[in-house]
Amino acid sequence: MIAIRSLVKYFGNRTVLRSVNCEFAPGRVVGIAGPNACGKSTLMKSILGLVIPDKGEIEVSGISARMDSARGEIGYMPQHASYPARLTPRELFELVAALRRKNPTRREELIDRFAVRSFLDSPCGTLSVGTRQKISAIAALMCEPPILILDEPTASFDPVAAYTFKQLVREESKRGSTILIVSHIVSELEQLIDDLVFMLEGRVLFQGSFDALSNLAGTSDLELAIIQLMQGTTHLHSEDTAR
Amino acid sequence: MTAAILRYECFNALRSKWLYAYTALLTTTIFGLAYLAADIRRTELVLISVLILLVPLVSMLFTTAYWYGSELFTELLVAQPVSRRSIFWARIISIVASLTTCLAIALFVPTVTLFGFDRSLVWLFLGMALAGAVFCCLGTLVATYVIDRLWGIGLGLAIWFYFIAVHDGLLLLLLYWFREYPLDHLGAGACAFNALSIVRVGLLLYFDAPLLLGHAGALVSGLAEGKMVVPIFFGLIGGWLVIPLVFAQRRFARRDF
């Protein structure tokens, strides 16, 4: 469970988040979408403690996001998996498990599912972008965190890895995890998400279920519905909009 | 928690090919200089002049490059349930420790091989290790405040150049312009604003080589009195270590990734 209240963030004179309020419930896969520079990455980074908000409060599983322990609840998969060139995936997994003080219960299973066992002792600098992304997915999922934040997760995956990853997301969702996916790939969102948060100019313009958005936009095509939101041709009802 | 990051950071820094190249180059240079000087005392005096240029430069470049090069990985570490303070201290300790280890190998292996162990080598090592540590702290300060890596590395080089040449030049110019006034104390005090002057003066006073002190050093040596020199030396160097780190840590704790 993630609760965000009146979140405001400035970068210099620019207001990036304008009093954002939203909640993400357990067992739901939520897509965060919006045009470039709408604030979705800043929102995600605020939850992760990477960006420090100027006003407002974020609670992660009932713990203030300002506390270091809140991040123990979150598995994070960044858009660009960049690791020190000489670090091996095995060492990375050991480091992440040590920092999280948790047993990486799913590590071996995930290594097999992503077929990366032969790369475990290779320096990360020698791995392809796609393999590094698989390593990143394993690092995020192996300790079974109750919340997952995935930034453009399948952008570098081959079709097999993308399929495996989507299966994993569905399994995690059934297990009761809260999953946030930031993505520009509408087809990916369409396949995975239960709810959508649409942001525009630092505000949450829509938060609701995929079905609610379809009804509102009068189309079951998510891409078209999102385009309508961006163009302002879909009129939002109070029950579906965030404050 | 800090121990896990510290262990990783030390492993990572010590596996840098850069550091091996630095150690090899420094060892070869020191071996060559020591062989040509053919005397421990002369070798030490030559090494003060050479290392005071080289060690801060390498420390500044390595530190800034290390921080900028691990930016995305730092982001991943910050997203883990560990305090930013732990990440910051683990990194700075590992950088200083790895560079100091390189210096120790490069300094002691050739000199001890050629001349046997001399206690004054320890003071030379200590002085240079402190100079290197100060520049690691300044490099960290630069890398935490300046986001653009080219600007950051450029600023780091400018700081090194200021401490190596510009500070003493400006001081000399000021003393020349205002030569009719009694500015000796002021000039000596100005040394406190240059960490390298402090190290150089401290070492040359220890090695009793006033001719190599330079202008700022000559002012200090004229005013230095007996037992106060050592506490003042360590107090000033301590300030140069602590102050940049306090600001850098505050910035690191509050910055957005």
Cβ neighbour number for residue B115 with a 10 Å cutoff: 17
Q: How many CA atoms within 13 Å lie on the side-chain side of A99? A: 31
Residue linked to tokens 């649409």? A198
Minimum distance, in Å, between the CA of residue B235 and any CA atom of chain A? 35
Q: In angstroms, rounded to a whole number, what is the distance separating the alpha carbons of residues A131 and A33?
A: 26
Contact B159/B240 with Cβ under 8 angstroms?
Answer: no
Q: Which domain holds residue A17?
A: 1-73+148-153+178-236
Contacts of B11 in chain A (CB under 8 A): 91
Interchain contact A14–B (C-beta under 8 A): no
Q: In angstroms, rounded to a whole number, what is the distance separating the alpha carbons of residues A177 and A106?
A: 15
Contact A154/A165 with Cβ under 8 angstroms?
Answer: yes
Picking from B20, B80, B86, B254 by the largest number of A CB atoms within 10 A of its own CB, the best residue to mutate is B80
Q: Which two tokens stand for residue A59?
A: 């609670």
Contacts of A91 in chain B (CB under 8 A): 8, 11
Q: In angstroms, rounded to a whole number, what is the distance separating the alpha carbons of residues B147 and A131?
A: 29
Q: Give tens-digit pLDDT for B54-104.
A: 999 999 999 999 999 888 889 889 999 999 999 999 999 999 999 999 999
* Predicted pLDDT of residue A243: 41
Q: List per-residue pLDDT tens for chain B, 257 residues long.
A: 578 888 888 888 888 888 999 999 999 999 999 999 888 888 988 999 899 999 999 999 999 999 998 888 898 899 999 999 999 999 999 999 999 999 999 999 999 999 888 889 999 999 999 999 999 999 999 999 999 999 999 999 999 999 999 988 888 888 888 888 877 777 777 888 899 988 988 888 787 766 556 665 666 666 555 667 788 888 999 999 999 999 999 999 999 99
Sheet holding A147-151, edge to edge: A74-77, A147-151, A178-182, A29-33, A195-200, A203-209
Q: What's the number of domains chain A is made of?
A: 1
A52/B83 touch (CB, cutoff 8 Å), yes or no: no
Picking from A79, A82, A126, A180 by the largest number of B CB atoms within 10 A of its own CB, the best residue to mutate is A82
* Predicted pLDDT of residue A239: 44
* Predicted pLDDT of residue B221: 63
Domain annotation covers residue A164: no
SS3 B175: helix
Among residues B130, B98, B105, the alpha carbon closest in space to that of B28 is found at B105
Domain annotation covers residue A140: no
Interchain contact A25–B (C-beta under 8 A): no
* Predicted pLDDT of residue B185: 74
Is A209 buried (19+), middle (13-18) or exposed (0-12) by CB count in 10 A?
Answer: middle
**Mean pLDDT score across all residues of chain B:** 88
Q: Give tens-digit pLDDT for A114-165.
A: 999 999 999 999 999 999 999 999 999 999 999 999 998 888 889 999 999 9
Minimum distance, in Å, between the CA of residue B54 and any CA atom of chain A? 26
Of B5, B11, B79, the CB nearest to A71: B79
Is A40 buried (19+), middle (13-18) or exposed (0-12) by CB count in 10 A?
Answer: buried
Q: What's the number of domains chain B is made of?
A: 1
A82/B72 touch (CB, cutoff 8 Å), yes or no: yes
Among residues B148, B4, B142, B14, the alpha carbon closest in space to that of B83 is found at B4
What's A187's domain CATH number? 3.40.50.300
Query: Given CA atoms A57, A59, A60, A65 in this order, what sign does their dihedral have?
Result: positive
Contact A111/A119 with Cβ under 8 angstroms?
Answer: no
| ipTM at complex level | 0.83
Contact B105/B29 with Cβ under 8 angstroms?
Answer: no
* Predicted pLDDT of residue A4: 95
Cβ neighbour number for residue B93 with a 10 Å cutoff: 17
Query: Measuring CA to CA, how many Å separate B166 from each of B83, B161, B163, B194, B202?
Result: 39, 7, 6, 10, 20
* Predicted pLDDT of residue A89: 95
Q: Which domain holds residue B26?
A: 2-254
Q: Which region holds residue A83: left if phi is over 0, alpha if psi is between -120 and 50, else beta?
A: beta
Residue segments in chain A with a per-residue pLDDT below the cut of 70: 233-243
Domain annotation covers residue A185: yes
A95/B8 touch (CB, cutoff 8 Å), yes or no: yes
* Predicted pLDDT of residue A235: 59
